[in-house]
A and B are shown apart, each in its own frame.
Chain A
Amino acid sequence: MHPSPDIGIWIGGLLTLGIFSFLYGDNPYYKFCEALFVGVSAGHWFITLFWTVFIPKLLGNIGIAIHTFRTEGFAAGMSDYMHWSYIFGGILGFLMILRLFPKIGWISRWSLAFVVGTTAGYYFINYLVSNGLMQIQKTILPLTSVGNIILVVGTFCGLIYFFFSKEHKGAFGGLARVGIWFLMITFGASFGYTVMSRMSLLIGRMDYIFGIWLGMIR
């Protein structure tokens, strides 16, 4: 056993045990670790966004725009003028902060409307092509192999299950039932992957505790 001499590793190990202590029951040690995690995360995100967005993107670009205007005036090129457009983003960001003031908080909806609108516009075509058309195209297959048959039948029956304009009775109901089976198998596979993912996280923590921290694993 060769425990790490690094104080940071020790803090990480003790905080991991603190979070694990919740498995036994809620306790002050867990609450302290949880509050610390939330606080550090919030602080980290604030600083990250401040130094990667606010300073370089907003102030940096507006600074360039002002500098260009002072040195070149109206003779500046079109690309130089584009730096001024960041003011628009800055104003939208400022309007979001107005949510903190109940009387004028409604103004923040303008920023939200812009974000929702642009995102919908960006995604409309992409989803249609990537998740719609291309998937449909690759589902139209010749029924020449077991894999192709399963794919076509599974997709067809799955779609029938979600067709609610006709009562699920008779042959139609039978196909919908087959669709349910395919959906259940899909959910089962997804759940299996989720279990594997959670186990992986636990393996990572155990390796940290017994390997990196306590030095018990070679």
Chain B
Amino acid sequence: MGFFERLLKIDRRIIFTLIGIAIALPLFFNVSMFVETTPVVKGVYEVVESLPEGSKVLVSFDYDPGSMPELQPMAESFFRHCFSRNLKVIIMGLWPQGPLQANWALDVILNEPDIKAKNLRYGVNYVNLGYTAGNEVVILRMGSNIHAAFPADYYGTPLDDLPIMKGIRNFNNIDFVYNLSAGYPGTMEWVQFAADRFHAVLGAGNTAVQAPLMYPYANTGQLVGILGGMKGAAEYEVLADRPARGVRYMFSQGIAHAVVIFFVILGNVAYFATG
């Protein structure tokens, strides 16, 4: 058996091991890869930059721990950006685990020295409305009355008792909607019901699997911008000038992609060489 024939019959566990090493090893080195920013990510960043202090931003957490590596860095960098610009953040979830993901991100960001110094208060500067069942129907309900969709927040406090919710009735009173999505219900439903029907200004952060399906919405302006996968998270961190997990992970991502490309080329060479 020749070299190329043996190569075609290589044990897949060897490839698994090499991919594992390519992913794990770079994590031990604190290397920041150059991350080029793209217009679709800048779209989200620039909308947040353009909002005046005290503007209301609605963030919907529509994912669960399975998508944390991609979406949690996006959530953290978005919260950091909003709080540093003194925006008011209203959190909700169409996925049951979503509000919990939001609390984890808040725990990280609210303990950063510059954000901590702002003395942000729950119910005044930010609120977690929790999860409510109903998928896209919840968005539809919010279009007419947010208080009907969420009578109380995550901790059971009636919305009328929360200062941040004063004067907020529907999407007309929300300056920007940001959706972090890993599937259904997610960005597509937010585009169809919140952006197109109620004219909410909408941006999104998606898992990389889902992102290519959402780019057409950014092209038409239905989305002001979109963060696609870990690369999108890294781009946002670079734009906000606060490199964090997204940028750190991109080194592993780059090495792993190089290994995959190497094996694709090697496999093709071996395939054609053996006729």
A interface residues (Cβ-Cβ under 8 A, vs B)? 23-24, 45, 48-49, 52-53, 57, 122-123, 126-127, 129-131, 134-135, 137-138, 186, 189-190, 193-197, 199-207, 210-211, 216-218
Q: In the A-B complex, list the 5 residue pairs whose CB atoms are closest, starting with the nearest.
A: A204-B69, A197-B208, A126-B192, A138-B220, A193-B208
Given A52-B96, A194-B209, A204-B69: A134 and B23 within 8 A (CB)?
A: no
- B249 touching A203 by the CB < 8 A rule? yes
B interface residues (Cβ-Cβ under 8 A, vs A)? 13, 16, 19-20, 23-24, 27-28, 30, 66, 68-70, 96, 131-133, 136-137, 140, 188, 191-193, 196-197, 207-209, 211-212, 216-217, 219-222, 228-231, 249, 252-253, 256-257, 260
- B197 touching A217 by the CB < 8 A rule? no
- A210 touching B253 by the CB < 8 A rule? no
- B69 touching A130 by the CB < 8 A rule? no
Given A57-B133, A126-B192, A202-B19: A134 and B211 within 8 A (CB)?
A: no
Given A203-B253, A210-B28: A196 and B231 within 8 A (CB)?
A: yes
Contacts of A49 in B (CB 8 A): 133
A32 to B219, CA, bound (A): 46
Contacts of A130 in B (CB 8 A): 188, 191-192, 196, 217, 222
- B96 touching A203 by the CB < 8 A rule? no
A188 to B140, CA, bound (A): 35
- B196 touching A193 by the CB < 8 A rule? no
Quote the shortest CB–CB distance from B100 to chain A (angstroms). 11
Quote the shortest CB–CB distance from B21 to chain A (angstroms). 10
- A193 touching B257 by the CB < 8 A rule? no
- A52 touching B131 by the CB < 8 A rule? yes
Given A134-B196, A206-B252, A210-B27: A195 and B257 within 8 A (CB)?
A: yes
Given A129-B196, A130-B222: A197 and B13 within 8 A (CB)?
A: no
B196 interface neighbour in A126, A186, A195, Cβ under 8 Å: A126
Contacts of A127 in B (CB 8 A): 192
- A196 touching B230 by the CB < 8 A rule? yes
B26, closest chain A residue (CB): A203
A138 interface neighbour in B96, B212, B219, Cβ under 8 Å: B219
B70 interface neighbour in A53, A200, A206, Cβ under 8 Å: A200
Most buried by A among B132, B133, B197, B219: B133
- B216 touching A135 by the CB < 8 A rule? yes
B96 interface neighbour in A48, A126, A186, Cβ under 8 Å: A48
Contacts of B193 in A (CB 8 A): 126
Quote the shortest CB–CB distance from A201 to chain B (angstroms). 6
Taking A129-B192, A203-B230 as given, write out 18 further A-B residue pairs in contact, using a Cβ cutoff of 8 Å, ordered by the A residue number: A48-B96, A130-B192, A134-B222, A138-B220, A186-B212, A193-B208, A194-B209, A195-B260, A200-B69, A200-B253, A202-B20, A203-B23, A203-B256, A206-B20, A206-B23, A206-B252, A207-B249, A210-B28
Main secondary structure of the interface of A (DSSP, over half): helix
Contacts of A57 in B (CB 8 A): 133
A216, closest chain B residue (CB): B28
B253, closest chain A residue (CB): A199
- B260 touching A53 by the CB < 8 A rule? no
- B229 touching A193 by the CB < 8 A rule? yes
A135 to B215, CA, bound (A): 11
Contacts of A23 in B (CB 8 A): 13, 16
Quote the shortest CB–CB distance from A5 to chain B (angstroms). 19
- B249 touching A196 by the CB < 8 A rule? no
Quote the shortest CB–CB distance from A202 to chain B (angstroms). 5
A186 to B192, CA, bound (A): 23
B211, closest chain A residue (CB): A193
Contacts of A204 in B (CB 8 A): 68-70
- B191 touching A193 by the CB < 8 A rule? no
B193, closest chain A residue (CB): A126
Most buried by A among B24, B70, B249, B252: B24
- A197 touching B23 by the CB < 8 A rule? no
A195 to B220, CA, bound (A): 26
A143 to B96, CA, bound (A): 47
Quote the shortest CB–CB distance from A58 to chain B (angstroms). 11
A199 to B208, CA, bound (A): 10
